[in-house]
């Protein structure tokens, strides 16, 4: 969206020292008509996600939206000029009031051409690529744009709030009936809900600008959402919404904090989530783990995917939020979850709550996760053995590590995750034992590089220089055989206590 700059009209509409904001109380259709003339094309991502253009917010539309009444916006979206109608739709979106979404949906069938909109190359059908490049060379706007209709912009807004993967339109540009039906069902369940997850999630996407990049402006918006909206909700909805939104990407112990999750930490840190669980109490948490319906929020029902995110996070963080007496029931629940939430974390949580029975619980889980595509689950169970039982289980871990590896051409994701998650004072000893096993000689350069990377996290003097481990086998660098020999020599020293200790 091209900003109109500091024209005399814009200075007037922004207000000045003499008029203050009084002018905004008198907004009319002319203000939207003026803005429609000033805009060349629309960057839909910036408008949907409340992003900055040229280093600052898309000020004109935000300002008009802030001070326009609902009555005026109803007139704007009924205007004869399709560009004015389009701006009216985004002004409604800017208000972040879900009760106004039916006004946006009413424009879905509007097929009049409006502003061109900027699109991504990945959205271009393959057969149209050459044609699109030729069009780009001829057009005066030096960005990738395509013609759009008012209805397409309405669909983009609805899709943003619904957070659905269903395309609003088919390849002929006709509204997708599946999308329409899905929206009607979605709206019917949430039209009377003030604080359901869907509405808060949409506001969070706008507060974070749909990106993980930390900025002072974005942090302020997220903190406003957190303290002025979520924290003012009644319990337990407040805690459940925090858990639902902030656990969506906290899937595994090695995945937080991560660069792409920084915006989630601004909404709720791990400390905030533990505090929320402690506020709910063990009895309430066990109801969640039993998949009991606890709220009328359609996005927090036991059969929703988001509910599973909450369950997984609780199981991964059971220490200090559940008593040890809950361990047997967790094992029982884990056995009953086939087809719903079949996860090793039920058994891992039980093992952490009751270390005395950890081996029993983990042995119980092992036969349940022997499928061809359950290598990651087996890796988590072995990680739990290491975390709870330590070097006592080193032989079992080594046997699993290489037996499972034989079934793949190279180290699978679960094995790499296992190496990444290793912590503790005996990590180097375990890694050394793995290097002395016969299966270690079957490592290719890719497997070996991940192994060396894991070793380098725990010693100042790894057996191979970290600058070289991704160049194994290349000219001028160690061959795989030479690297294996160096590592096995180092491993023998570790096992005889001659190597540099852990750091």
**Neighbouring C-beta atoms of residue 433, cutoff 10 Å:** 20
What is the distance between the alpha carbons of residues 283 and 290, in angstroms, rounded to a whole number?
A: 11
Q: DSSP letter for 254, please.
A: G
Per-residue pLDDT of the chain (503 residues; tens, 9 = 90+): 333 333 334 434 444 433 444 555 578 899 899 888 888 888 888 888 887 654 344 677 888 888 889 999 999 999 999 999 999 999 999 999 999 999 999 999 999 999 988 765 333 343 444 555 555 455 444 556 788 899 999 999 999 999 876 777 765 566 788 889 999 999 999 999 888 999 999 999 888 887 655 566 677 888 888 888 898 999 999 999 999 988 876 655 554 444 445 667 778 888 899 999 999 999 999 999 999 998 989 999 998 878 888 999 999 999 989 999 999 999 999 998 877 888 999 999 999 999 999 999 999 999 999 888 888 899 999 999 999 999 999 999 999 998 887 665 545 667 888 888 888 889 999 999 999 998 898 887 778 888 888 898 888 888 887 566 556 556 667 788 888 898 999 999 999 875 555 54
pLDDT of residue 163: 82
Burial readout 30-39 (b: 16 or more C-beta within 10 A, e: otherwise):
ebbebbbeeb
For residues 79 and 85, the answer to whether their CB atoms sit within 8 Å is: yes
DSSP 441: G
SS3 assignment, position 350: helix
User: What is the model's pLDDT at position 157?
Assistant: 93
The closest of 456, 302, 140 to 464, measured between CA atoms, is 456
CA distance 17 to 193: 41
pLDDT at 126: 37
Nearest-CA neighbor of 218 among 263, 249, 261?
263
- pLDDT at 71 (0 to 100): 94
User: Using CB atoms within 10 A of its CB, is residue 467 exposed (0-12), middle (13-18) or buried (19+)?
Assistant: exposed
Contact 314, 289 (CB under 8 A): yes
Neighbouring C-alpha atoms within 13 Å toward the C-beta of 414: 19
Pairing of strands 117-118, 56-57: unpaired
Question: Which residue, chain included where needed, has tokens 């303290």?
Answer: 227
Measured distance CA(122)–CA(153) in Å, rounded: 18
Cβ–Cβ contacts within 10 Å for residue 332, how many? 11
> What pLDDT was estimated at residue 450?
83
Contact predicate 344/330, CB 8 Å: no
Q: How far is CA 26 from the centre of its chain?
A: 41
Residue 127, pLDDT score: 41
Read off φ and ψ for residue 169, nearest 5 degrees: -135, 150
Tell me what pLDDT residue 6 has: 37
């Amino acid at each position: 969206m091209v900003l109109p700059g500091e024209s005399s009209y814009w200075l007037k509409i922004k207000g000045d020292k003499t008029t203050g904001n009084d002018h905004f109380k008198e907004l009319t259709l002319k203000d939207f008509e003026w803005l429609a003339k000033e805009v060349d094309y629309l960057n839909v991502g910036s408008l949907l996600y409340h992003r900055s253009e040229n280093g600052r917010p898309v000020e004109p539309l935000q300002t008009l939206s802030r001070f326009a009444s609902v009555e005026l916006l109803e007139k704007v979206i009924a205007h004869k000029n399709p560009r004015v109608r389009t701006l009216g739709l985004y002004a409604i979106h800017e208000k972040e009031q879900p009760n106004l979404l039916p006004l946006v949906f009413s424009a879905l069938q509007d097929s009049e051409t409006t502003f061109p909109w900027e699109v991504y190359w990945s959205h271009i059908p393959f057969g149209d690529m050459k044609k699109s490049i030729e069009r780009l060379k001829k057009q005066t706007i030096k960005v990738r744009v395509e013609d759009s209709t008012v209805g397409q912009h309405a669909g983009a807004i609805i899709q943003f709030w619904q957070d659905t993967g269903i395309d609003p339109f088919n390849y002929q540009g006709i509204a997708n009936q599946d999308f329409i039906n899905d929206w009607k069902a979605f709206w019917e369940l949430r039209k009377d809900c003030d604080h359901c997850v869907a509405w808060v999630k949409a506001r969070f996407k706008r507060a974070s600008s749909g990106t993980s990049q930390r900025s002072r402006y974005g942090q302020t918006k997220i903190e406003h959402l957190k303290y002025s909206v979520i924290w003012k909700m009644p319990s337990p909805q407040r805690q459940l919404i925090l858990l639902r939104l902030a656990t969506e990407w906290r899937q595994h112990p090695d995945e937080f904090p991560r660069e792409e999750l920084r915006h989630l930490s601004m909404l709720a840190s791990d400390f905030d989530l533990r505090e929320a669980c402690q506020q709910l109490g063990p009895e309430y948490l066990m109801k969640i783990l039993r998949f009991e319906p606890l709220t009328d929020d359609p996005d927090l029902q036991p059969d929703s995917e988001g509910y599973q995110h909450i369950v997984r996070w609780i199981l991964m963080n059971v220490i200090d939020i559940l008593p040890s007496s809950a361990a047997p029931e967790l094992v029982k629940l884990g056995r009953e979850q086939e087809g719903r939430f079949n996860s090793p974390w039920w058994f891992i949580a039980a093992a952490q709550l009751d270390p005395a029975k950890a081996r029993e619980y983990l042995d119980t889980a092992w036969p349940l996760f022997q499928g061809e595509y359950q290598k990651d689950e087996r890796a988590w169970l072995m990680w739990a053995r290491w975390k709870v039982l330590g070097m006592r289980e080193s032989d079992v871990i080594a046997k699993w590590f290489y037996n499972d590896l034989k079934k793949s051409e190279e180290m699978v994701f679960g094995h790499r995750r296992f190496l990444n998650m290793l912590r503790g004072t005996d990590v180097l000893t375990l890694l050394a034992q793995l290097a002395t096993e016969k299966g270690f000689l079957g490592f290719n350069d890719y497997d070996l590089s991940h192994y060396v990377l894991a070793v380098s996290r725990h010693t100042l003097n790894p057996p191979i220089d970290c600058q070289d481990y991704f160049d194994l086998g290349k000219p001028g660098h160690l061959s795989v055989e030479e690297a294996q020999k160096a590592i096995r020599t180092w491993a023998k020293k570790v096992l005889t206590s001659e190597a540099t200790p852990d750091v």
